[in-house]
Amino acid sequence: MSSIPGNARRRQKVLLVGLTLLVMYMVSPAGYWTGEPMVDDTAGKIIDEKDGNYRFPRMSTSRHKFNSKRLSDCENYADYARVPHFASDGSSTPLGLPNQRPPEDCRTFSSPLIEEFIKEFKGKLKDQDLAILFENTFPNTLDTTILWHVTAEENQRMKNHADQNSYRNEYPETFVVTGDIKAEWLRDSSWQLAVYQPFIKRDPYIKELIRGAINTQSQLFLHNPYCNAFHPPPYSKATPRESAIDDVFPKPNWAQVLECKYEIDSLASFLTLSRQYYQNAPEEDMFDFVTDDWLLAVKRLFQIVDREADSTFFPDGGLHEFMYKFKRQTNIGTETLPLDGSGNPMKSGTGLVRSAFRPSDDACIFQYFVPGNAHLAVELEYLVDILTDYLIYENAGKSKTTNYYNVDIGTLIENSEERARKIREGIENNAVFEHPDFGRVLAYEVDGYGSRVFMDDANIPSLLSLPDIGYISKDNELYQNTRDMILSMKGNPYYMNGVYFKGIGGPHIGLKYAWPMSLLVRIRTSEDDKEIMDCLKLIMENTGGLGLIHESIQTSTAGGTEYTRSWFAWANSEFAKTIFDLADRKPHLIFTQEALEKKFNLNSFIAGIAVS
């Protein structure tokens, strides 16, 4: 203490302040104080809470802003969505679909441009039930799942006031829950927001929202890169639900993580969200998602990919060190991994990247998960373009990013090119097989030794979605053969053909249920008008009379009244995305005759509304 200047009383005060700050630092999650990856393995205080049993942060005075007030009369949307709500004027549609948007003052985010767009676009649809279903589903993520959002200005203000309990960096942040589970999945949130990406050029508030989502995802992934689902940040003041706390190596920070299943599509989805922002943002803002954290997260992504491209054995037969293990105390086989949590052996030299779990959160049988590898290859190819353009932007002195962690962008470009090429070659050499009934097809999972799984699951990425994610063209013979296989009971054990509903399901929800999402992807990968309308009709007639898209539907129950998850925002975004796809490719199937007089272009339509 004698080295502290001043009298004894002053030295005592300085020491007391220092000790207080040290204690505050020690009890706070490390990564929220610094930009470095977290190493704190303590679980922290987790508050027990039943699924969906919480209220939403509500709207502030701005019509654009995140709704931060807590209103006692705002019903939990999981409960609200289970009951039909009809227009006060008594109007009805042939299917009697209700209006399921929450009341305006109970919506988590609102945009006048989105509201005007819904009004104008609905007027083009010739089917009243389709119009109601679109109005319910398109804004569902904005209406119900923006659990927490701060703008860049608000973050900067907290920085200026040294409010370190609330401030992480000077960029916006956005935490997007999946729906009835109070947590963010990297995959779900990326696809939930995808339907709003075309609006960011015209709506700065939607742009700020999605930019914040990228910033938050960067943080979530950076500190726990093997994990799939996350709690809201502690400084959001949102109460987390209980973590799974499984036996996972490397051990995650359970104060931040809900579940830590390593899924290759989580990595790819992080890149998808960034890439779609880059493609849709105004030219002057197209790189404002590139932050120090984002660059470090991309570097971390390659570390994970390189590790998981290793096989189980060395060429000489020696055993590789396992970089990821997952064990759960469960009697459900798909919820844990065999062989002490490492998964089944994978062969060396394939060029493919392992995935412990599928996008359904079910364990892979063989860890070279083909749709996930395809998704990653596509996003790495896009990443080459993004980073190449960014280097030009940076060299011109336009970048606002300091590159604090000295990430070598040139190396990232080289790694992206090489890994994407290896994955494509790996799929061609290890995942294409001659099927006795369908010819040359793609397998769902392989191990490199010749073992394969012929099936598909409804979750994206899937074999069915390969053209949708940009991996292969719809008219490619290999894809068409694969499509025929997975859309038949003869070729796909998880194709459910019930009395009232049919589609692809998966082991996650059992053998009686199919996912409407599979029909939406089927529509987007079809050029056949009858197939498209048959699928659309099935979806519209099987919402349980609730006017929302559910996770899965019992195929032998009329009307879709037996379903899983009343509030599943990802599926609602996928429905709206499908309607936009039809408006572009097949407008005659959904538009009125008057609307068909002028060719529809989504970007032009948004621009026209923004100007008016």
pLDDT for the residue numbered 89 = 76
Q: Which residue has the tokens 């294409």?
A: 432
pLDDT for the residue numbered 5 = 44
Cβ-proximal residues to 411 (8 Å cutoff; 6+ apart), any chain: none
Residue 24: how many other CB atoms lie within 10 Å: 12
pLDDT for the residue numbered 15 = 52
Q: Could you read off the pLDDT of 174-216 as tens digits, one per residue?
A: 999 999 999 999 999 999 999 999 999 999 999 999 999 999 9
> What DSSP character marks residue 18?
H
59-64 contacts, C-beta under 8 A, 24 or more apart: 59/105, 59/107, 59/108, 59/109, 59/110, 63/110, 63/111, 63/112, 64/110, 64/111, 64/112, 64/205
Across the chain, which has 612 residues, the per-10-residue mean pLDDT values are: 47 48 40 34 27 32 50 83 89 93 96 98 98 99 97 80 63 97 98 99 98 98 98 88 93 97 99 99 96 98 97 90 96 97 96 99 99 99 99 93 95 99 99 99 99 99 99 99 99 98 97 98 99 99 98 98 98 99 99 98 97 80
Q: Which H or E run includes 221?
A: helix 204-223
pLDDT for the residue numbered 166 = 56
pLDDT for the residue numbered 161 = 60
C-alpha closest to that of 151 among 176, 171, 126: 171
356-389 core/surface letters (b: 16 or more CB in 10 A; e: else): bbbbbbbbbbbbbbbbbbbbbbbbbbbbbebbee
**Between the CA of residue 436 and those of 340, 355, 433, what are the distances in Å?**
35, 28, 10
C-alpha closest to that of 582 among 9, 124, 59: 124
pLDDT for the residue numbered 46 = 24
Cβ-proximal residues to 377 (8 Å cutoff; 6+ apart), any chain: 419, 420, 423, 424, 427, 471
pLDDT for the residue numbered 316 = 87
Q: Which H or E run includes 430?
A: helix 409-430
pLDDT for the residue numbered 91 = 76
pLDDT for the residue numbered 8 = 52
Cβ-proximal residues to 515 (8 Å cutoff; 6+ apart), any chain: 458, 459, 503, 504, 505, 506, 509, 551, 552, 553, 571
Q: Which residue has the tokens 């109970």?
A: 106
CA 29 – CA 113 distance, rounded (Å)? 38
Q: Give yes or no for a contact between 565 and 179, defined as CB atoms under 8 angstroms apart.
A: yes
Residue 477: how many other CB atoms lie within 10 Å: 9
CA 132 – CA 138 distance, rounded (Å)? 10
Q: Give yes or no for a contact between 280 and 606, defined as CB atoms under 8 angstroms apart.
A: no
